[in-house]
Homo-oligomer: A and B are copies of this chain.
Amino acid sequence: MAARAIGAGKVTTKEEILDAAETLFAARGFEGASMRAIAEAAGVAQALLHYHYRTKEGLFEAMFLRRSGAINRIRLARLDVMSARGRPSVEDIVEALLRPTIEAGHDPSGGGGRFASLILAVSTAEGEWQKGLVARSYDPMAERFIDALMGALPGLDRANATWGYLFIVGAALTQMAPTGRADRLSAGAASDVDSDAMLARAVIFAAAGLRALAADTAAEHGHSH
């Protein structure tokens, strides 16, 4: 039925503009997507984009915060539910972290699985406003998940929990964009279209990696003290 995953009520013009912006920014990058092309994709005049979002930068920020906010609310809600039931496992935490972004990719209104590319582009950009956007959007959520990882793995210190968190997000995000590389390199045995299979592997991979980092931390502390 393809119900909208963001916003409950009627689809406004402002949201249609954000949808078009998300698709085009994800496909062509910030500089590669023009206001003209976004306006055309949204079926409105170009001047309307400036009326609603002032500048191209403003439009990008609004688009980015809408999607990242929706994803992070789901992530934290799942973490809260799990924590209320007792101490969650590493696997549960990793799944709560990764699955909402994958499911956002299934949302037909949005970038169609390409929001992951957008996050990567923004986080590696050099512009100050883009670094700030990443920090505002993701740091509070990231800190909560890093804390949760330390809670699930006694012996994992903050440095290793942070590395682990960043490794997991980097590993998963780079596989969410539909590049076709998995299919080609595995001769069809793995497919980046099958995001559920990817997620299952990522959880196994990440949980084992985190446990190894925790064991290494404990070993080092044992040696030096």
Q: A residues touching B (Cβ–Cβ < 8 Å)?
A: 27-32, 114, 116-117, 120-121, 123-126, 131, 134-135, 139, 142-143, 146, 157-175, 177, 179-182, 184-187, 189-190, 198, 201-202, 204-213, 216
CB distance from A74 to the nearest CB of B (A): 20
Known: A142-B185, A170-B170. A160 touches B123 (CB 8 A): no
Known: A125-B29, A173-B170, A206-B209. A163 touches B181 (CB 8 A): no
- In the complex, the answer to whether B134 meets A181 with C-beta atoms within 8 Å is yes
A-B contact pairs, 24 of them (CB 8 A): A27-B126, A28-B31, A29-B32, A114-B126, A117-B124, A121-B124, A123-B177, A123-B181, A124-B177, A139-B181, A158-B187, A159-B186, A160-B190, A160-B201, A161-B186, A162-B185, A163-B175, A166-B185, A167-B171, A170-B174, A174-B174, A204-B212, A205-B209, A205-B213
Name A174's contact: one of B124, B190, B204 (CB within 8 Å).
B124
The copy count of this chain in the complex is 2
Which residues of B sit under 8 angstroms from A120, Cβ to Cβ?
120-121, 124, 174
A209 to B166, CA, bound (A): 15
A124 to B212, CA, bound (A): 30
- Residue with the highest number of chain B CB atoms closer than 10 Å, among A124, A146, A216: A124
Name A175's contact: one of B166, B177, B208 (CB within 8 Å).
B166
CB distance from A29 to the nearest CB of B (A): 6
- In the complex, the answer to whether A123 meets B189 with C-beta atoms within 8 Å is no
CB distance from A6 to the nearest CB of B (A): 22
- In the complex, the answer to whether A163 meets B146 with C-beta atoms within 8 Å is no
Known: A184-B139, A189-B157, A205-B163. A179 touches B124 (CB 8 A): yes
A179 closest partner in B (C-beta): B123
Name A190's contact: one of B116, B162, B182, B210 (CB within 8 Å).
B162
